[in-house]
Amino acid sequence: MTAGSQVWARAQLALELFALDPARLRGVTVKARAGPVRDVFLEAVAGLPGPVRKVHSGMGFDALLGGLDLSQTLASGQVRLRAGLLDQPGTVVLAMAERCPPDIAAILAAKLDTNPDLSLIMLDEGADPDEQAPQTLRDRLAFHVELDGIGRLEAKPFRLAAHPVPRHGSRSAKDVAHAIRDLTILAQRLGIDTLRAPTFAVETAKALAHMDRRTVPNDADIQSAAELVLAPRATRLPEPEPAEEEQPEAPAPQQTQAQDDRLPDDMLIDAVRAVLPLDLLDTLATGGTPQAKGSGAGQKKRSNRRGRPIPSQPGRLDGQSRLDLIATLRAAAPWQKLRGRTGARLCVYPSDIRLKRFEEKSDRILVFAVDASGSAALARLGEAKGAVELLLARAYAARDHVALIAFRGDKADVLLPPTRSLVQTKRRLASLPGGGGTPLAHGLKTAAELALHSQSQGMSPTLAILTDGRANIALDGSRNRAKAGEDASQMARWIRARGLPAIVLDLGTRPQPALAGLARDMAGTYLPLPRADAHRLSDALEQALDHGLGA
């Protein structure tokens, strides 16, 4: 059997076990991109007992939790409520779980904790390690399967068998005491810091025994449960237990029958190690701890100022939008006679609903990254100083912020944090250091990090790179002109991937093709200004910003 076939067999077994007892195993996280292999797996998911409903992370609160049925309430004169999808029993399939925002993840987690008739199949389509389904939901589902490494011919279609629900009440704690002990100790040695994992593993061992028409799980059930539940959650490789010193004179203690029947810990560890993914095994071996970084959906843009109201638009209440009652009644009023209403009550259709809208404008910040290296550093810094002061003079009307970064030697320094204070700016710009090498890549990195930090605070950043393009210091500090250029191009592509608008101002004596390429890598604007003074520099930046750069 190939490696892909073995992974597919484990995924099939996980789904069959979940179908056997969804109330205790709660669900499955499926890590797979859209494709034929995932389609075959989802065909089997459709055969789960009970209704199977699809949801996505963009659904509103009213669709998930229910709420007021405004049309029926206004028509009848009494409060009418509508049930939500999460209040109904069955299995919910969450698509694109890596983009699930924290508020929706919290709602799903709370429903899984309080509604035993609700279970979850979570489809994680993230391509990068940073794109993962919310950890709060992963912890609440027993199984995690990865289908990306499975070939199309290895994914054999299957149907879920019809098993009766296991009778957990017929077993005593004594019957599964050895399974609880072994799986709990193994979870601790694998660095799993939640009790849900060994609990799910014990329930999985019980379900495996039930599938084989046995009442007590055996060693094979415990081993399979460890592979299915504990292996995907491992955060470290267990250290070998220290060997005990031999004491030949002391008589060997007499072992009980229960101890003889217990599965050795080394066998369980070897079984878990065998099913760990290769990349995960390498990460654990080097001491890394895999962690989910965020939801993958990207942080919502937050405005740090109040928005102004704009005309309402048709829509549906989702628990987050605000109803524009006047506009709704105005839209419904002309149709009352056609709808057969002549009394005081109104007949409001869903198409009459109007929602309030607000336009939020976040503050704009211009991050200057100035090349302060070489003999021309004083001239460039003087130009940047004048341009910053001119822009700050206009910032009082436009409410813009300005930040200044100077890169020279082997690093970049933040000389001026984001500010609109003209007095503070003049103090910081009074004396700027110059000379040394040109760490262009480090300057781009520092400017982008400052821009991303400002973006997380609700601002709209724009990068302005002032340089002559003669980079000669790499990111690792080495003086290698070729590597410095490669590092600068790599940082430029990273800036483009982050969606940061940028403008490159070429201050050399003649236009540099390398800087034009750098601007293309950033998807930014290239402006050659070989003889730019502060006024020309400020005017060029203003024109670029007015044409939509950084809006």
DSSP designation for 323: B
In this structure, of 144-148, 201-205, 317-321, the range with the lowest mean pLDDT score is 317-321
Write down the pLDDT at residue 259: 44
Q: Which residues contact 91 (CB under 8 A, 6 or more apart)?
A: 22, 27, 45, 48, 50, 51, 52, 53, 118, 119, 120, 121
- Write down the residue that tokens 């204070």 correspond to: 421
Q: What is the mean pLDDT of the chain?
A: 77
| C-alpha span between 298 and 498 (Å, rounded) | 10
Write down the pLDDT at residue 525: 85
What per-residue string of b and e applies to 287-296 under the rule 16 or more CB within 10 Å gives b?
A: eeeeebeebb
Contact 123, 95 (CB under 8 A): yes
Distance of CA 457 to the CA centre of its chain: 18
Q: What residue spans define the domains of the chain?
A: 3-159+171-230, 310-359, 364-546
Taking only the tens place, the pLDDT of each residue in 465-480 is 888 777 888 888 888 8
Higher pLDDT, 11 or 387: 11
Higher pLDDT, 131 or 445: 445
| C-alpha span between 455 and 461 (Å, rounded) | 6
Q: Count the alpha carbons within 13 Å of 326 in the hemisphere toward its beta carbon.
A: 3
pLDDT at 296 over 60: no
Write down the pLDDT at residue 527: 80
Q: How far is CA 132 from CA 54, 93, 99, in A?
A: 19, 16, 8
Contact 139, 22 (CB under 8 A): no
Please report which confidence band the pLDDT of residue 80 belongs to, taking 50, 70 and 90 as the band edges.
Answer: confident
67 DSSP β-pair partners: 82
- Write down the residue that tokens 């029926």 correspond to: 72
Taking only the tens place, the pLDDT of each residue in 149-206 is 888 888 889 988 765 555 444 455 666 888 888 888 888 888 888 889 999 999 999 9
Superfamily (CATH H level) for 3-159+171-230: P-loop containing nucleotide triphosphate hydrolases (3.40.50.300)
Write down the pLDDT at residue 138: 92
Contacts 24+ apart (CB under 8 A), 199-205: 200/25, 200/26, 200/142, 200/229, 201/225, 201/226, 201/228, 201/229, 201/230, 202/176, 203/21, 203/24, 203/25, 203/142, 204/17, 204/25, 204/142, 204/228, 204/229, 205/176, 205/179
Write down the pLDDT at residue 203: 92
Question: Which amino acid is residue 71, in one-letter code?
Answer: S
In 13-51 the beta strands, taken as DSSP E runs, fall at 27-31
Distance of CA 506 to the CA centre of its chain: 37
End-to-end CA gap in the chain: 56
pTM of the model: 0.56
Give the mean pLDDT of 25-44.
91
Contact 95, 56 (CB under 8 A): yes
Higher pLDDT, 528 or 261: 528
Maximum C-alpha span of the chain? 103
Give the mean pLDDT of 450-454.
90
3-class DSSP state of 311: strand
Taking only the tens place, the pLDDT of each residue in 410-420 is 888 888 888 77
For β-strands 460-467 and 364-371, DSSP reports them as parallel
Superfamily (CATH H level) for 364-546: von Willebrand factor, type A domain (3.40.50.410)
Distance of CA 495 to the CA centre of its chain: 19
Q: Give the range with max mean pLDDT: 136-150, 370-384, 522-536.
A: 136-150
Contacts 24+ apart (CB under 8 A), 44-47: 44/12, 44/15, 44/157, 44/158, 44/159, 44/160, 45/15, 45/91, 45/93, 45/121, 47/19, 47/159, 47/160
Closest among 377, 403, 541 to 470, alpha carbons compared: 377
Q: Which two tokens stand for residue 326?
A: 């006047």
- Write down the residue that tokens 């937050």 correspond to: 302
* Element of type H or E holding 94: strand 90-95
Helices (H), 99-167: 102-114, 135-138
pLDDT at 233 over 50: yes
Q: Which residues contact 391 (CB under 8 A, 6 or more apart)?
A: 366, 400, 402, 538, 541, 542
Neighbours of 170 (CB within 10 A): 8
